[in-house]
């Protein structure tokens, strides 16, 4: 093959790859919503995700989500529906059944990956929904609060909107902007300070420090707790994440004294988990 033919072939291959480019996440969900239009159990899940995305895209906090899991008996439901429309052995019915069965695992994967989509698109790690922020605001009772590792600032933004007079310091090192969407699309004013610097600057001015979804591979959370214990023992640390799971270091979970009093349990009631991550809020000492 001469160089000219090779160059032409490479262009054809590149064009083919562009044609089969993966459909965007939300568009995929909309396609499956149309496909499963006759199945309210599936449309309910998809519509919840689409509405959640719409609200976040418009700068609003979303509502809680149901568990984004397809019903265990969904194939039986679909099989019954197809049999009601077509007699057994009908080619049209077989083709429709095959379309449904082929789509189910792909849809299941999409629903399970909604948190990944939020992280990649909006830099939202903790699912900050509106009732949860309202409950958190009531728990704080307007006391001055510092948020460290605020990312794009969904928590601080929600708190500021509910109580404009409350002192809220939102800070983040912005290191993550090199790796993902965290910090690239702030929804409120974020001061560029790492966690320790922020505490040293504002620790004497606040009653609470909020730390949400600290990375599980770093021990900055343990350093934060040590600093508060040593220099700011009266300041309360609220930690949002999955204990011994997707967030925070093993050292932190092993050494922090975690409690959830009745008032904090009311906040947790609104922190609904829609996937397999057991996200909760703790008072850490």
- Span 48-72, average pLDDT: 96
Overall average pLDDT of the 183-198 stretch: 91
Give burial (CB, 10 Å; 0-12/13-18/19+) of 138.
Answer: middle
Query: Is the pLDDT assigned to residue 259 strictly greater than 80?
Result: yes
Q: What angle do CA 105, 108, 113 make, to 5 degrees?
A: 125
Domains delineated in the chain: 16-112 (no CATH), 126-284 (3.40.50.150)
- Section 135-148 average pLDDT: 98
State the pLDDT confidence band at 121, using cuts at 50, 70 and 90.
Answer: very high
Would you call 209 helix, strand, or coil by DSSP? strand
pLDDT of residue 23: 85
pLDDT digits (tens, 9 = 90+) for 230-246: 999 999 999 999 999 99
Global pTM?
0.86
Q: What is the largest CA-CA distance in the chain?
A: 76
Cα–Cα dist 64/54, whole Å = 14
CB of 171 closer than 8 Å to CB of 147: yes
Whether the predicted pLDDT of 260 surpasses 90: yes
pLDDT at 10 over 60: no
């Amino acid at each position: 093959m001469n160089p000219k033919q090779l160059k032409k072939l490479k262009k054809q291959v590149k064009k083919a790859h562009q044609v089969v480019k993966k459909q965007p996440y939300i568009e995929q969900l909309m396609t499956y919503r149309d496909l499963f239009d006759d199945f309210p159990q599936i449309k309910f899940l998809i519509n919840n995700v689409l509405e959640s995305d719409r609200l976040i895209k418009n700068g609003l906090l979303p509502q809680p989500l149901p568990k984004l899991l397809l019903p265990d008996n969904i194939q039986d439901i679909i099989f019954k529906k197809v049999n009601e429309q077509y007699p057994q052995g009908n080619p049209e019915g077989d083709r429709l059944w095959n379309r449904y069965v082929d789509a189910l695992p792909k849809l299941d994967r999409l629903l399970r990956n909604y948190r990944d989509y939020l992280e990649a698109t909006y830099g939202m790690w903790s699912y900050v929904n509106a009732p949860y922020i309202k409950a958190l605001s009531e728990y704080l009772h307007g006391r001055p609060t510092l948020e460290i590792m605020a990312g794009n600032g969904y928590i601080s933004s929600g708190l500021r909107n509910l109580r404009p007079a409350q002192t809220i310091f939102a800070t983040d090192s912005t290191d993550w902007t090199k790796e993902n969407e965290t910090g690239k699309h702030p929804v409120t004013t974020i001061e560029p300070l790492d966690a320790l610097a922020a505490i040293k600057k504002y620790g004497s001015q606040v009653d609470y420090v909020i730390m949400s979804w600290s990375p599980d591979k770093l021990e900055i959370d343990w350093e934060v707790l040590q600093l508060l214990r040593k220099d700011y023992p009266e300041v309360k640390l609220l930690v949002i994440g999955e204990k011994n799971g997707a967030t925070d270091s093993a050292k932190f979970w092993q050494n922090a004294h975690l409690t959830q009093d009745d008032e904090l349990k009311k906040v947790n009631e609104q922190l609904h988990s829609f996937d397999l991550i057991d996200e909760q809020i703790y008072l850490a000492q």
